[in-house]
Amino acid sequence: MHFLSFFLLVSLAGQAIPPVTDTTEPVTDQVVVHGLIAHPFTITLDNIRHFKPQTYQNMNIVCSSGETKKVLRSFEGISLKYILDSAGITMPRPKERGKYYIAVRASDGYTTIYAWNDIYNNPTGDEVFLIFAENGRPIMEDGRFVMICRNDKITGPRHVKWVESIEVARLP
């Protein structure tokens, strides 16, 4: 075999096979805010203080199976509504408000949505937080940012680990 093609083959094979030690999910260190908004931006641990984070107490992460997966004595974060207000949702036809939704996506493909009405016309709007610290420590294994909905009865499904984007979109 020609030396160069052998070299190419080896380097391509090296790319295709991830290191065996890498069993963790891809860690996301920023959250991109995009879609039908006036001011797209990216949230990082460096700029999240501009959103005036607050500390809240006591929340359990409960799976649909009924199992309590995690107990948060405290968590620190910013509200989704405040993020959206900063982004400025563009809605030229207000009668279409019911078609608008917010998709929260994680790096492993896990996704949850909130209807625009859930955030702006329901108590839920005051209960959804992008959090970056749990029990007084930065979040590590679940990515740097997690989204939670504090008033869900079953809190696991809309507890999104490894959040990488928040998109404002509209049904056709």
Ligand X SMILES: Nc1nc2c(c(=O)[nH]1)N[C@H]1C(S)=C(S)[C@@H](COP(=O)(O)O)O[C@H]1N2
- Residue 28: CB minimum distance to ligand X, A: 9
* DSSP letters for 65-119: TS-EEEEEEEEEEEEHHHHHHHH-B--S-GGGGGGEEEEEEETTS-EEEEEHHHH
Please tell me whether residue 63 binds Mo ion under the rule CB under 5 A: yes
* DSSP 8-state secondary structure symbol assigned to residue 30: E
- If the CB atoms of residues 79 and 112 are measured against ligand X, the closer one turns out to be 112
Please tell me whether residue 156 binds ligand X under the rule CB under 6 A: yes
Site size with ligand X, rule: CB under 6 A:
13
Q: What is the dihedral of CA 66, 67, 70, 73, to 10 degrees?
A: 60
* Interface region with ligand X, contact rule CB under 6 A, candidates 4-12, 16-24, 63-71, 123-131: 63-71
For residue 43, what are its two tokens?
A: 């949230």
* Interface region with ligand X, contact rule CB under 6 A, candidates 49-57, 78-86, 93-101, 159-167: 159-167
- If the CB atoms of residues 89 and 130 are measured against ligand X, the closer one turns out to be 130
